[in-house]
Amino acid sequence: MDVINIALKKAINIDIVRPDDKMPFMERDTNQAITRIIRNIGNHIKGSKSKADFDILVSGGAPGIGKTRFGQELFKHLEGSQNDWVPSEWTNLQLKDLYLDFGNGCRLDSYDDELTPTVIIGLRIAYVFFIERKYDMKFITFRDRVWEYRENFKIPNVFECIYDHLIQLNRQLFVFLHIDEFQLIDRWECDAVNERKMPVKQLFKEMINGLASFMLGPPSRIYVQTFLSGTTPQVVISAKESSRVSFGFVNCPQLSFKALLNIANHYAQKYDAEKFACGTYKWMLCRPFLQLLEDTGGLPRALQYIFDVCFEIEVNGKKFFDDIYQQHFNTIFYNVKHHLQERYNIYETIEKNEKLALELLFHSIDAIPVHRKTCLDPSDQDCTIENLERDAHIILNPRNATSSEFTIKMPFFFICLYNDKLKIIDSNLEETLRVQNSMHWQDWELFVAYYETFCTNLLNFEVRLKKLSVRRAQEQFPCLKLTEKDSAKSIPWEKGEDVIVNGVSAKWGNSFRVLEAVQGDRFLSIHQAKYDYNSATYTLKDLFNEHTKNCETSAFNTTKQIFDKLADYRHITIVFTTQPFYEIVPYDDCFVISCNNFEQCFGPVFSSRATFALTKNINPNFSELQRMVECLPGVGDVTAENIIINRPYKSEDDFFKKHSRAKRGKEKHEHENPEKKLKLDFYPFNV
C-alpha cells in the first residue's frame, strides 16, 4: 500500500528494545478457547456461512483479572502447539497477532465522527501492524498523514495489504486479532450521538460483521480469529442478534496458587535468589510471603502490586529474596492495599451505596451463589451482578463448568478496604489479622473472637442486632465483675454487645458472648479454641467433658449471686480446633469446628487468611519439633531435628527417603480408627 510509505516519510525507527518487566505468562487453562477456534476453522474450511458455526471469542469481567494477558497467553499457546490444531489443508501457515487497544494507543475521538465503521477499524488495524512499536509515531499522527487517502483503509483492503507484505502467494495467513477495551466503542458512540449529534453508526455491530467475513466460508487465504476483551459483556449480548457470527464467552480464570508460585519463582530466578541444596528456592518456606500470595485471591493485578511494592522497598531484587525472612510483610500488605484502593477506588463505591456494599461483602464472605441477573439492591434495578462486575469491580467465579451460578470472590485486600469504610469491626482488619503472625494459641483464640464479631456485625446491618466489639477481660469469668485488660473499664457482659476474650488460664471458655432468642430465651455461647499445640487428638469425650466442665463451673464453682445469674442462661459450647475431628456429635448443646469443615464455617476468605498451618495436616516443612515427635510414628527428638535441618520436602517419597526412621502409617493415639491414617501435607509443593 503506497499510502503507508507516505505516512512513513521521515518517520523515525525505534531501535531500542526495552526490557519486558511485566509478570510472566500465567499459564491459565486455554482449552475451552482453543476448542472453539478449532471448531471455527473446521467450519470455515467446510465453507459454512451459518452464524451458529462461528464464534468470536469474548473475555469480559472486572478490571485487573487478566483479560488482556489471557488473550496473549492464548496466542502464545496457538503459536507453540500448531501440531495440535492446524488443519492439514493449511500448508505453510503463517501466524500473526495484532493487538488493538481502544483504551490506549488507538482511542476513538471526534475525527472518527466523519468516517465509516470499516475505515475507523481499518485505520487502526493498519496502524498496529505497520507502525506501532516500529516507528516513533502516534496513531493521531499516522491518521493525519493518511487522511487524504482514508477511504483506502477499509478492513478488506488492509488485510490484503498485510497479506502481501508478509508472505508469498498461496500461503495461508492466520491473524489473531485481539481487540481490548471493546466497551469503549459503545461509550464513544453514545457520547458522539448525544453530545456532537453524530448520526448513529452502530460501530460495534459493523466492526463485528466486517471481521466476520474473514471467518465465514468459502475458504480463503486469510483467516481472522477475533478475540474481544473488556469490562462490559452486555455490549456483546445486545449486539449478538444482528451479528453475522455468534459470540463465545471464555472464562478468564483467576490464578491458581500453583501459578502464583510459578510467577514468584520467575522473579527468584531473574534475581538469582538463594536455593536449598536440592535446588528449591528458599523463599518457598517463608510463611508471611506465602500468605501474601494467598491474600491476592488469584487476582493478577494484586499480585503485580505485591512485586512492585517488594521491589520498591528493596530495589535490589536478589537482596530482597536473600533477606526475605527479615522483610516487613505487614508494611508490604498495607502498601499493596493502598495501591489497590488508588486503582479501584473501592471507598467511593461504598460511599455511593452502602447497602449494596454490605450485600456484596455478605455474599462474598459466605460464598452465596448469584446469577448474572441477580439484583442486590431492590431499590435500584441497575444493581445486577453483570453491571456490578464492571462498576463495582467484583470478581465472579463460576461454581462449576456447567452452572450459570457464580460466587463473588474478594481478595483479602478488598475485605480490608470494605471494613475501613463500613466499620464492621472498629479496628483495621489487617491489624487484627496480621500477615506476620505465627498464629500460636493466643492468636488462634483472638482469630475466633474477631471472626464471630465480623460476621455477626455484618449480619446486624440486615436484621438490626446489636453491634459487637471484642473485649479482652482482665479477670477469669465466671466472676461478679469483668474489667477490660488494657483500660480497666467495666465490661457489661449481660448486654450481649461484646465477644469477651476470657482472662488468662480461665477454665470456663476462652471467649463467650450472650445471645437472646426472639422468644426471650437467653444463651451463653462459650467458645473453646483448641489449638493443636503438640497435643493428643481431640475426641468426642473431650468435647463432652469440656461442656460438662463449663456447666459445672457455672453451677458449683461460683458464688450464689453468680449462680443465680448464670442459671437463666442455656450453655452452648462451641469448640474450634485446628485438628481433624471425625466423630458425630450427638449433643444438642455442643458443636465442633475443625480443620475438616474449617472453610465451611469461616468461609473461603477468612479460612485462607487464618494461616495455612492451622488447616493443614502435619507438614514436615513447617511443623514444630515437638508436634512431629508427638504425632509422627518413629520420630524422636533427634530425627525431628534432622527433619528441620533437611527441609524442604516435596512429597512423601522425598520425606521418607531422607528419614527412614519415620514410619508410614497412622498417627500416634489413632490406632483404633481406620479413617485416621497419617496424612502428611507438603504445602506449598503439593498444590
CA distances from 363 to 356, 388, 488, 604, 610 (A): 11, 13, 38, 11, 20
pLDDT computed for residue 664 by the predictor? 67
pLDDT computed for residue 325 by the predictor? 92
Q: With a cut of 60, say whether residue 345 has pLDDT above it.
A: yes
Contact (CB, 8 A) for 647 and 285: yes
Contact (CB, 8 A) for 57 and 226: yes
Instruction: Please give the residue that has the higher pLDDT: either 683 or 450.
Output: 683
The C-alpha atoms of residue 409 and residue 422 are separated, in whole angstroms, by 18
pLDDT computed for residue 608 by the predictor? 64
Q: Which helix (H) or strand (E) holds 663?
A: none
Pick from 496, 562, 504: nearest CA to 523: 496
The C-alpha atoms of residue 64 and residue 340 are separated, in whole angstroms, by 10
The 8 Å CB, 24+ separation contacts for 425-431 are 425/450, 425/453, 425/454, 425/457, 425/469, 425/470, 426/469, 429/454, 430/330, 430/333, 430/334, 430/337
User: Which grid cell is 112?
Assistant: 472518527
Compute φ and ψ for 94, nearest 5 degrees.
-120, 130
Instruction: Please give the residue that has the higher pLDDT: either 457 or 505.
Output: 505
What average pLDDT does the segment 85-99 reach? Answer: 93
pLDDT tens digits, one per residue of 452-476: 777 667 655 444 446 678 889 999 9
What average pLDDT does the segment 180-190 reach? Answer: 92
Q: Which amino acid would we find at residue 405?
A: E
Contact (CB, 8 A) for 614 and 578: yes
Which distant-in-sequence residues (6+ apart) come within 8 Å of 670 by Cβ? 537, 676, 678
Least confident of 413-422, 461-470, 504-513, 522-531: 461-470
Q: With a cut of 90, say whether residue 327 has pLDDT above it.
A: yes
Most confident of 18-32, 337-351, 662-676: 337-351
DSSP result, 173-239:
EEEEEEEE-THHHHHHHHHHHHHS-PPP--HHHHHHHHHHTTTSSSP-SEEEEEEEEES-HHHHHHH
What average pLDDT does the segment 518-544 reach? Answer: 77
Least confident of 55-64, 312-321, 412-421, 646-655: 55-64
pLDDT computed for residue 530 by the predictor? 75
DSSP result, 391-440:
HS--EEEESSSS-S-EEEE--HHHHHHHHHHH-SSSS-HHHHS-SS----
Q: What percent of the chain has pLDDT over 70?
A: 85
Q: With a cut of 90, say whether residue 319 has pLDDT above it.
A: yes
Residue 554 binned pLDDT confidence (cut-offs 50, 70, 90): confident
What average pLDDT does the segment 678-684 reach? Answer: 79
Mean pLDDT of the chain: 85
Contact (CB, 8 A) for 573 and 593: no
pLDDT computed for residue 462 by the predictor? 46
> Cβ–Cβ contacts within 10 Å for residue 631, how many?
23
Residue 671 binned pLDDT confidence (cut-offs 50, 70, 90): very low
Q: Which helix (H) or strand (E) holds 290?
A: helix 287-295
Residue 359 binned pLDDT confidence (cut-offs 50, 70, 90): confident
Q: With a cut of 90, say whether residue 381 has pLDDT above it.
A: no
The C-alpha atoms of residue 459 and residue 344 are separated, in whole angstroms, by 25
pLDDT computed for residue 534 by the predictor? 47
pLDDT computed for residue 445 by the predictor? 61
pLDDT computed for residue 318 by the predictor? 94
Least confident of 170-174, 203-207, 208-212, 280-284: 170-174
Residue 667 binned pLDDT confidence (cut-offs 50, 70, 90): very low
Q: What percent of the chain has pLDDT over 90?
A: 43
CA atoms within 13 A on the CB side of 240: 15
Give the domain ranges of the chain. 2-7+35-82+92-249, 257-343, 345-422, 438-613, 616-676
pLDDT computed for residue 392 by the predictor? 56
> pTM here?
0.76
Q: Which helix (H) or strand (E) holds 60?
A: strand 55-60
CATH number given to 2-7+35-82+92-249: 3.40.50
What average pLDDT does the segment 629-638 reach? Answer: 83
The C-alpha atoms of residue 108 and residue 181 are separated, in whole angstroms, by 11
pLDDT computed for residue 604 by the predictor? 64
pLDDT tens digits, one per residue of 575-605: 888 777 888 888 889 988 877 776 666 666 6
Residue 69 binned pLDDT confidence (cut-offs 50, 70, 90): confident
pLDDT computed for residue 170 by the predictor? 76
